[in-house]
Structure 1
Amino acid sequence: MSQAYYEVAINPIPSKGEYMILFSGESQTEPNHLVGPSVHDYHLIHVVISGKGRFRIRGKQYELSGGDSFIIFPGELFEYESDSTEPWFYRWFATKGQQMDAALSIMGISASYPIICTSDCEHISSLVRDITQALRSGNSSCDMLANGYLRLLLGAYMQYTEVNVQVEKEPLSDIEYQIEQGIRFLTLQYTQPISIERLARSVGYHRTYYSKMFKKHTGLSPMNFLLKIRMERAKLLMGSRLTIEQISSSVGFADSLYFSKQYRKWYGMSPSEYRSKMKNNPD
């Protein structure tokens, strides 16, 4: 049995873009090493390289081994434990950002099904190691390099999500599938004029029923889900040199005054007030 160890690299200059990598690392665990029960406010993805262990979330237990990855979602109670005789060796990284849920959703990954099984983890694990090494360098390019490796990693995961699935996944009903497609559409097309009625009709459902099921699935109505995306993107753009009118247009609002009213409702201050606050409190 390999000697237990733990290494982690913290991102010294995390960006505030689509994917904000917080830290990355690896560990050879001791037998029966238990983490949790706990809750995080970020995504934490583990890649099991060797050994075995158990991951528990939402009342389900997953028996995992080399080649498997498990994803901890923000706000979800979880715990995981290494095997008593073959404790796992894994690498991990933590990330925040508006696009991570969307990227995982496209792959069919959610807190209800947080497992990705691959036939060969060498490529996946090497990309996580590359993220760690980039962060450990601490130079001015480390965040950009780490983000590049993360995008390659997500692309590699996408190649595996339709094959070699060892944990049974319940098939989506038609309405669930259409809601997932709606989420993807809204996430990608939020800059454009969007009619929820037209969206519902395009997938064969009445707006009222589609909106009801969408809210049941996501906790938000389609319109509020779209507004949330737009407001989050607008907040990110407040640190740019764009004018309020340009930001308004960039996130799908034709009327900048209406945009400002919605921004105030969402964040409790107008876009101009938020910018002033950023200048006075840059941290």
Structure 2
Amino acid sequence: MNKLSNDTYKHSFKPKIRENLGLTVYNCGFQKCESGYTWGPALRDHYLIHYVTAGKGTYKVNNNIYEVHAGMMFAVFESSVVSYSADEKDPWEYYWVGFNGADAERLVKLSPLRKEAPVLNAKGNDVFQSALLDIYRNAGSGPADEARMVGYLYLFLSHLIALSAGNAKYSSSSAVYVENALKFIRYNYSNKIDICDIAKNIGVSRSHLYRIFVRHLSMSPNEYLAKFRINEACALLRNSSLSIGEIANSVGFDDQLYFSRVFKKYKGVAPSRYVSQTGQHSD
């Protein structure tokens, strides 16, 4: 890691716990880099978007090298090995946000950024700098802080999605079905709903529901519903005094043992262990 000189700065925030319903801020901040400042080569376990406000630098990914200057964005996709360096003579300044979650891939796919096209010219759209700064200004570890950060992240992504020509993907019929399915899940996950209920509610067959989920979210409807419920359970474990059984019932599981198995599948630990690790609640 390069040491910052006196005329450079870095302000950043990383929450200790990275859980949220559908979207989670992993890190955020802004930095004026010193000459030649470099990160990588390495990979991230989340999405990371930089918006350059001054200077220039280079971004390397998949054997491609991109020249990036003020008014441009570059995106790091999870599990991609990348490196980026500030210019020696005119080092860049940038704002960034790192994020992930059940909704992250769907939202990124609606934007102009792609793995095969990870750099975007957004010059003249000063809204991005202020949107990213709002995320940082509302950084904090409490539930209210987390909600504000995610809210501003959604606003930032909405500006990014608006750059997509005509929002063709967003208005496609399959995308509308997915949106309606996600809304149904958000409003009904605590009930004993299954995939047949979701498909019936939005007016498609179960097989078609499966296909459009895989196409738009890269996961099955069952997996999305399970992850959604487990992330909701994590929030309750951290922020309520409910027992494990009460939490299981609250997120749509009527069998506590089955809930514990699903929880461990997605979080790597049992609910009781997760609780002890966060120190928020004991059953």
- TM-score (ref. length: structure 2): 0.66
Change (3 A) 1:60 1:151: farther
Post-superposition Cα deviations, 1:173-211, rounded to whole Å, max 9, x if no partner, equal: 957635753674476343344342354456665323542
What's the CA shift string for 1:123-170, capped at 9, x where partnerless? Answer: 4324544555676xxxx88996686366335314413522476xx999
What is residue 186 of structure 2 aligned with on the other side? 188
Task: Give the alignment partner of residue 48 of structure 1, picking from 49, 52, 57.
Answer: 52
Map of 2:31 onto structure 1: 26
The CA RMSD measured in Å over matched residues stands at 4.7
Structure 2 partner of 1:8: 10
Kept in 2, the 8 Å contact 1:4–1:29? The answer is: no
Aligned counterparts of 2:266 and 2:141: Cα–Cα separation in 1 = 34
Deviation at 1:233, TM superposition (A): 2.5
Structure 1: state its 5+ residue gaps: none
Deviations 1:72-129 (A, max 9, x none): 233233334556876533122444x536616834854665465665453444324544
How does the TM-score come out when normalised to structure 1? Answer: 0.66
Q: Give the Cα–Cα distance (whole angstroms) in 1 for the partners of residues 109 and 45 of structure 2.
A: 21
Determine if the alignment matches structure 1 residue 66 to structure 2 residue 70. yes
Q: Give the drift of 1:26.
A: 1.0
Q: 1:199–1:147: structure 2 CA closer, same or farther, 3 Å change rule?
A: closer
Q: Distance in 2 between matches of 1:212 and 1:173?
A: 18
Distance 2:219 2:141 in 1: 38
Compared CA separation, residues 40 and 102, structure 1 to 2 (3 A): closer
Identity across matched positions, percent: 23
Distance 1:231 1:37 in 2: 33
Q: Tell me the equivalent position of 1:224.
A: 223
Deviations 1:206-242 (A, max 9, x none): 3235424534654432112211222233233222312
What stretches of structure 2 of length at least 5 have no aligned partner? none
| Aligned equivalents of 1:148, 1:76: Cα separation in 2 | 29
8 Å Cα contact 2:40/2:83 also seen in 1? yes
Q: Are 2:244 and 1:244 equivalent residues in the alignment?
A: yes
Do structure 1's residue 36 and structure 2's residue 36 form an aligned pair? no
What letter corresponds to residue 249 of structure 1 in structure 2? N
More displaced, 168-177 or 21-30? Answer: 168-177
Instruction: Give, as a single letter, the amino acid of the residue that structure 2 aligns with 1:26.
Output: Q
Quick check: 2:110–2:167 contact (8 Å CA) kept in 1? Answer: no
- The alpha-carbon distance between structure 1 residues 6 and 127, as it changes in their structure 2 partners (threshold 3 A), is farther
Q: 1:157 to 1:78 in 2, by over 3 A?
A: same
Deviation at 1:254, TM superposition (A): 4.3
Q: Identify the range of structure 1 (175-184 vs 230-239) with the bigger mean alpha-carbon deviation.
A: 175-184
Matches within 5 A, 1:66-215: 66-81=70-85, 87-95=91-99, 98=101, 101=104, 104-105=107-108, 107-108=110-111, 112=115, 118=122, 120-129=124-133, 148=148, 151-152=151-152, 154-163=154-163, 177=175, 180-181=178-179, 184-185=182-183, 188-189=186-187, 190-200=189-199, 205-212=204-211, 214-215=213-214
